[in-house]
Amino acid sequence: MLIRPNIFPKSIKDAFVTGFVFIIIPLIYYFEPLVVLPRYYKQWSLWYNFHFFMASIILFNVSSNLLAIIICDTSIRGRVLPTNWTSNWRYCSVCESVAPPRSWHCNTCNVCILKRDHHCIFTGCCIGHENHRYFLVFVFYMFVATVYASYYNVYFLWDYINLGSWSSIAKIVFPLATLFMEWTENQLHVFFIIIVLLGGAFTGALLCFHIDLMLRGVVTFERNEKSKYDRGKMENMKIVLGKKWYLVWLSPWIESELTCDGINWSNAFSEKAK
């Protein structure tokens, strides 16, 4: 893995959103086991320990995959690029370098990204060939975490938050605005619960969208086109997740060699002909 020379967000918007992600993840991890779970299980009982352990495993995968996304350099920097390039290649005047097929220049990162999918404001960097695996697993565990937490959060909200007035409903519909006007422990809990619910809906939709793209062998910019690089669902998955695709869900530190270098692309027909 090549390491990005500068891992910090390049824009104010990226810095704000990425900063929010880095703050809210540990806060939610604190909130769920120490505030919500004790309402249902005696602290350090068997079931409490089980859920605490599961939450810790999920946190490990969320945080470590997030870190891997950010530090992994998926640009053309430091890559050995051929001097005699074909018509599928192009010249990037900003990078002053040739760029392989499926690479795009990101104006925010100010560099061409190998097999660029999109620029992610939640991580402050581009998602491309080298960190695509970490992004998918990160979104997967974020979805698992939010659904897992929401199961208990809904009951917690129903049992321990007063919903008997319009003002109480307004606190749920506008949690952040109400939090600024009424900084109380209960309102902070409502804010966390709504964030988790919205996060579950968002990451669920995002996960379905990107898994569909992966299985079709396309990236976001190619989603409305018939892919020239579609090699079948299994091979498409190995291009993103690597040869050990079945193990990458356990930890980002498990090595899984990608079946393509992100530079030399062949279409499905030429691959089948070999």
Of residues 267 and 254, more confidence is placed in: 254
pLDDT at 269 over 50: no
pLDDT at 274 over 60: no
Mean local confidence (pLDDT), 100-113: 95
The residues spanned by each domain of the chain are 12-262
Mean local confidence (pLDDT), 144-159: 92
Mean pLDDT of the chain: 90
- Report pLDDT for 264: 87
Of residues 153 and 88, more confidence is placed in: 153
Match 């020239």 to its residue by tokens. Answer: 228
CB distance 237 to 216 below 8 Å: no
- Report pLDDT for 104: 94
169/190 Cα distance (integer angstroms) = 11
- Express each pLDDT in 114-138 by its tens digit: 999 999 999 999 999 999 999 999 9
230/217 Cα distance (integer angstroms) = 5
pLDDT at 273 over 70: no
Which residues, 6+ apart, have CB-to-CB distance to 252 below 8 Å?
61, 64, 65, 67, 68, 133, 134, 137
Mean local confidence (pLDDT), 136-156: 96
Q: Supply 82's token pair.
A: 């051929």
Of residues 249 and 156, more confidence is placed in: 249
Q: State the pairing for strand pair 125-127/118-120.
A: antiparallel
- Tell whether pTM > 0.75: yes
- Report pLDDT for 163: 64
Does residue 120 have an active-site annotation? yes
Q: Which of 114-128, 141-155, 257-271 has the lowest mean pLDDT?
A: 257-271
pLDDT band at 160, cuts 50/70/90?
A: low
Mean local confidence (pLDDT), 226-250: 94
Candidate list 72, 120, 125, 260, residue with the active-site label: 120
- Report pLDDT for 119: 98
Percent of the chain whose predicted confidence (pLDDT) is above 90: 72
- Report pLDDT for 72: 97
pLDDT at 82 over 80: no
- Report pLDDT for 166: 64
Using CA of residue 245, residue 146, residue 69, residue 125, what is the dihedral sign? Answer: positive
- Express each pLDDT in 20-41 by its tens digit: 999 999 999 999 999 999 999 9
- Report pLDDT for 103: 94
